[in-house]
Copies of this chain bind each other. A is one copy, B any other.
Amino acid sequence: MSKVNLKQLAKELNLSVSTVSRALSNSHEISQETKEKVKYLAEKLNYQPNPHAMSLRSQKTKTIAVIIPELSNNFFALAIDGIESIMQTAGYQLLIYLSHEDQQKEVSIVNKLEGRVDGVLICMATETHDISHLRGLKEKKIPIVFFDRVSNKLNTVKVITNDIESAYKATEHLIARGAQRIAYISLSLNISVDQKRMQGCLKALEDHQYTGDKKRVLSCTINDEENYQLIKKMLSSPTRPDAIFTCVERLAITTYTVCRDLRLSIPVDVKVVTFSNMPAAALLSPPLTTISQPAYEIGKAAAQAILDALNKNIVELDDEKIILPSILIERAST
């Protein structure tokens, strides 16, 4: 059973190709009778329109690109779940690209997108400074929506969480638990969310008169091994912090590992709080207080935004921030 196309349907029905095409797209200038005959046969022969021919003709691909730094992080997995739930309903395909936190890769991915997708959802790579590749997309009239990690250099829809506030609250949580010296561990201050989280954290510290060595920032990288050493060094010092706020889950896990290796107990010696969407966070030893982002909803919101743009045929999206709240989940230690 080779692929059935319009021509074959037309021959079978003694109609022209265009009539069949119109009948299937429910054109009002086709008789009810013909429509039914055509649709019946199409159904019977399991006719599936050739997506490439359609794209070539209509310049619409019914495909969306999703560009993320990595996949083995529950935040992104959940976000894609959310995106998929919207796109599946709308009949769009999802092309997934991983930048592996590499600007070079991100650029080459983006440059191959034209003609392939109708819109782009992106969470920028840590490394990305220059955004001219994204500007290029806008010039090519491909709508683009940022989520989580955004750039203010480009005016478009951005779906984010209330990171400053959440970080502020989480820091107050550490203070309330009696922390004396608090350290914020950053992944890369090139990331918008990292900046905001740090901002919220430091603001809380200042408001509570945590200054000097009561307030500290450790800059980590995307290299886990290096981070381990950095954190170990900090926690080996006699004036080590007794509370740590990590920007991302991965750094929290590294921190846990360091504490275990140094035989420091959590949360007695060190209190830890982090942004995280790990499914098993509740089972951690001891339970980790987390700021949980609504990843699924973020994905849905971003998908909906791009869909709206496509439906209304708006190529140039307004600069708009959709802010969804994160939730602080405190877990009593056993």
Contact = CB atoms under 8 A, between A and B. Distances in A.
A17 interface: no
Contacts of A81: 70-72, 98
Given A70-B81, A94-B97, 11 more contacts: A1-B139, A3-B115, A3-B140, A50-B115, A52-B116, A71-B78, A71-B81, A72-B74, A84-B98, A253-B283, A280-B281
Interface string A76-89: 11101100100010
Given A56-B56, A95-B95, A285-B285, A114 B3 contact: yes
A111 B78 contact: no
A1 B84 CA distance: 31
Contacts of A257: 282-283
In terms of DSSP, what is the predominant structure of the interface of chain A? mixed
A286 interface: yes
A48 interface: yes
Nearest to A78: B72
Interface in A42-67: 46, 48, 50-53, 55-56, 61
12 contacts: A1-B139, A48-B114, A71-B71, A71-B77, A71-B78, A72-B77, A72-B279, A253-B280, A278-B279, A280-B284, A283-B285, A284-B285
Nearest to A139: B1
A51 B96 contact: no
Interface in A103-151: 111-112, 114-116, 139-140
A32 interface: no
Given A111-B48, A115-B50, A279-B253, A96 B94 contact: yes
Contacts of A279: 72, 253, 278
A81 B112 CA distance: 20
A93 interface: yes
A94 B48 CA distance: 21
A334 interface: yes
A73 B77 CA distance: 8
B115 A48 contact: yes
A256 interface: yes
Given A96-B80, A279-B72, A284-B283, A50 B56 contact: yes
Nearest to A4: B114
Contacts of A78: 71-72
A264 to B, nearest CB: 13
Interface centre among A52, A74, A95, A253, by most chain B C-beta atoms within 10 angstroms, is A52
Nearest to A84: B98
Given A95-B93, A253-B280, A52 B48 contact: no
A111 to B, nearest CB: 7
A93 B278 CA distance: 28
A112 B95 CA distance: 15
